[in-house]
Amino acid sequence: MSAPSPKVYGWCPGALRPMMSGDGLVVRIRAPLGRLSSEQAQAVADLSQRHGNGLLDVSARSNLQMRGVSEDNHPALIAALQDLGLVDTDAAAESRRNLLITPFWSKGDKTHTLAQQLSNALVSATDLSLPGKFGFTVDTGPAPILRNTAADIRIEHNADGLILLADGAQTGLPVTTGTAVEEALALARWFLNQGGAPDGRGRMKTLIARRARPSAHVAPLGTPAESPTLGQTATGQLVGLEFGQIPATSFAELATHGALRLTPWRALLVEGATNIAPQPGLILDATDPRLRVSVCTGAPGCTQALSSTRQLARDLAPHVPSDATLHLSGCTKGCAHPAAAPLTLTATAPDTFDLIRNGTASDHPAKTHLSAADLRASPDILTKGS
C-alpha cells in the first residue's frame, strides 16, 4: 500500500492566523525587517517557554516560529507580541508584508531604506490581494545572495544600479531608490492582472514560464554570490541552528550579545558579536556535518508525518559524504527541501524510509523499506550501490 498523499495548504501560517500542528499551534512571527532587538528576542524566548514548547524555528523565509502553543494561550501570546511591536494589526497586512531582506545591512543604508519603504507600502496596500506565499526580497548588497530563496519580486543590483526582477525572468527593470517600491507594487498588480493567481494561488515564476515578462524589463541581471558561511562578518557573528531550530534558552543567551537578525540559511546573525560560546542547538563550526542535512519537523510535531525524523538526521549526519547533502522528510511533501537533493530519505511508515538519489522527496526511490535501525547500523546504505 502506498503512503497517503500529504495535504497542500497553499497558505502560510502567521501569528494572527496560526496553523494547528501535531504539537499545538504554530505561531509564525514576521519580525519587522527580520530583526529583533536584544530585549524583543529575550521577551520572545520567555513567551516561548510560557506559552509554547520552548523551541523556536527559523524558517526558510527568515520568519521566527513558535511551536506548541495552545489555543487557550494564543490570545495572551498575541497581546504580548503586539506590545513588543512584532505583530501587524490584522492578518491581511501580516500576509502582505511577506518581505525578505539581506541581513547584511546598516541602519540608513540603501537596503534598510528600501526595505522599510516596501514594508510600509505593503501594509498600506489594502487593495492588493496576493497569494499567501507570494513574497518580495530586498537583496541590494554588492551581489544578490537570496536568489536561492523563494520569492516572487526581487529588488537587486546589477553592474549599473538597482533593478526590479520578476522571479523566473532573465532580465529586469532598471529602477532607482525613488521608484523601486512603486514599481515593485506595480509588478505585483501586473501579476494579478495577467491571471497569475487564478484561484487565489500562484507564483510569479509559473506565470513568467507561460507568458512574456513585462516589455520594459530588459536590463541584465547581476551575478549572484554564494550564500555566506558561518563565522565572523562585518555586521556580527553568523551562527548556525541545528536543523533550523533553537531552544528558547539558547536564543535568550544569544540575545545578550546583541540584536538578532533572521536569515534564510538556518542561521542567525548576532549584531556586533564575536566569540559566541557553544550553546545547545547552536552550530559555530562551518564544517559541522549537520549543516549538510535538511530535516523537517516530522512526528509528532507534524500531523502529516509518517515517522519521527530529527534524531535519525542527527545520527546520520556524520555519515553524509562531505560533497553531498541529505534531506530527511517525514512525508513526500518535502517541506524542508522542496528541490532535488543528492540523497533523500522519505518516510513511508514509522521508522521506515525510501531512499531517493538526486531527486525530491516524492521522486522514484532507488531503495525502499529501509528501517531507521538498519540505517543507523549501516549508514553506508546511503551511498552503497550508487
**By the criterion CB under 6 A, which residues form the site for ligand SF4?**
6, 296-298, 302, 304-305, 329-331, 333-335
Instruction: Find residue 245's DSSP bridge partners.
Output: 57
102 vs 304, which CB is nearer to ligand SF4? 304
302 vs 313, which CB is nearer to ligand SF4? 302
CA dist., res. 307 & res. 70, Å (int): 23
3 vs 92, which CB is nearer to ligand SF4? 3
Specify whether the CB–CB gap between 203 and 134 falls below 8 A.
yes
Tell the smallest beta-carbon distance from residue 350 to ligand SF4 (Å). Answer: 12
Tell the smallest beta-carbon distance from residue 304 to ligand SF4 (Å). Answer: 4
230 vs 356, which CB is nearer to ligand SF4? 356
CA dist., res. 247 & res. 287, Å (int): 22
Helix (H) / strand (E) element for 238: namely strand 236-241
Tell the smallest beta-carbon distance from residue 148 to ligand SF4 (Å). Answer: 19
Tell the smallest beta-carbon distance from residue 150 to ligand SF4 (Å). Answer: 15
Specify whether the CB–CB gap between 194 and 211 falls below 8 A.
yes
Tell the smallest beta-carbon distance from residue 127 to ligand SF4 (Å). Answer: 33
Instruction: Find residue 57's DSSP bridge partners.
Output: 65, 245
18 vs 214, which CB is nearer to ligand SF4? 18
Query: At 113, phi and psi to the nearest 5?
Result: -65, -50
